[in-house]
Chain A
Amino acid sequence: MELKSGIPVERTLKPYLIGLMLAVILTAIPFGLVATGALPRETALVAIAALALVQILVHLRFFLHIDLKTAPRENLVALAFAAVLICIMVGGSLWIMFDLYHRMMV
């Protein structure tokens, strides 16, 4: 394999199959929680959010091949920056809007 270019990067089937298996499990649990109503609402919401976070990491690792060692540094920096922006914007919007909502309810 005398390919100097980073493109196409070597791809094997294994990570995709591992990713699929983990994603199926991580999807089946929250759907099952909603279908059966096994947990109280608050607990179930936390579980759904936590499983979604894990599944995002699984997709990044096994489908997008983001790896802290081999992925280009600037890609990781951009990803981290986007994550910070998203936290500020989503967290900030919800904080402001729900605070406003509660103040107007009084």
Chain B
Amino acid sequence: MSSAATMSVSTRDTERYEEKDFGFWLYLMSDAVIFACLFATYLVMVGNAAGGPVPKDVFSLNRAAAETALLLLSSTTFGIAAVSLWAGDRSKVLLWLAITFLLGAGFIALEFSEFSGMIAKGAGPDRSGFLSAFFTLVGTHGLHVSVGLVWILVMIGQVFAKGLTAPVASRLMRLGLFWHFLDIIWVVIFSVVYLPGLL
């Protein structure tokens, strides 16, 4: 039985994990800078609808609210998985990771239907500067969430196969940083893209 409480980690390993955490944090900060550039592009382009659909025509407040709820809940369920990790409860870690995956997958499903619905209505990324910027910004976030979903699956596999060993736990903590970071980006997306667009 492996549990966080009985796990012994050498000082050298601890330092290595701390270095990895810091490296991953630097990656997140540079990713935040990328998103900031996409937000700036969107704000510059949002008025350029080229006679096509404007934000009010293509956004739905209910869908944005549902996407927000799914992502926020998934952040919380990931937190519960982290609490279970600390308690060394392997089956609970697996359960809450699986719930987090389902919530994240629900988010992606909603976003996919939103994108395909817009493209079907002729409001695809090729229609106007506004729509190019919209698809780039929100699509980049969706791509990150999709990568996060794959990562969650990989970690479910590792927890299942290897148990809660120190390297697995360390990876789970970084996955947590990534997942919570994506939720922050989403807060900015609904505050910059959806809500002002529907106001």
How many residues on chain A are close to B (CB under 8 Å)?
A: 55
Give the Cβ gap from A43 to chain B, nearest Cβ, in Å: 11
Query: Known contacts being A78-B25, A97-B44, is A3 close to B5, with CB within 8 Å?
Result: yes
A59 lies within 8 A of B7 (CB): no
B17 lies within 8 A of A82 (CB): no
Residue among A7, A15, A16 with the most chain B CB within 10 A?
A: A7
Q: Considering the complex, which residues of chain A in the window 1-30 have a beta carbon less than 8 Å from any beta carbon of chain B?
A: 1-13, 15-17, 19-20, 23-24, 27, 30
Query: Known contacts being A7-B166, A81-B29, is A56 close to B40, with CB within 8 Å?
Result: no
Q: Considering the complex, which residues of chain B in the window 43-87 have a beta carbon less than 8 Å from any beta carbon of chain A?
A: 43-44, 61, 64-65, 68, 72-73, 75-76, 79-80, 82-83, 85-86
Q: Which residue of A lies closest to B179 (CB)?
A: A63
Give the Cβ gap from A96 to chain B, nearest Cβ, in Å: 9
Q: Is the interface of A mostly helix, strand, loop or mixed?
A: helix
B191 lies within 8 A of A52 (CB): yes
A27 lies within 8 A of B68 (CB): yes
Q: Considering the complex, which residues of chain B in the window 119-155 have a beta carbon less than 8 Å from any beta carbon of chain A?
A: none
> How far is B198's CA from A13's CA once the two chains are assembled, in angstroms?
35
| Residue from the list A11, A27, A44, A94 in contact with B82, Cβ < 8 A | A11
Query: Known contacts being A51-B191, A55-B187, A59-B187, is A34 close to B39, with CB within 8 Å?
Result: no
> How far is B63's CA from A67's CA once the two chains are assembled, in angstroms?
33
A20 lies within 8 A of B76 (CB): yes
Instruction: List residues of A whose CB falls within 8 A of some B CB.
Output: 1-13, 15-17, 19-20, 23-24, 27, 30-31, 33-35, 37, 41, 44-45, 48-49, 51-52, 55-56, 59-60, 63-64, 72, 74-75, 78-79, 81-82, 85-86, 89-90, 93-94, 97-98
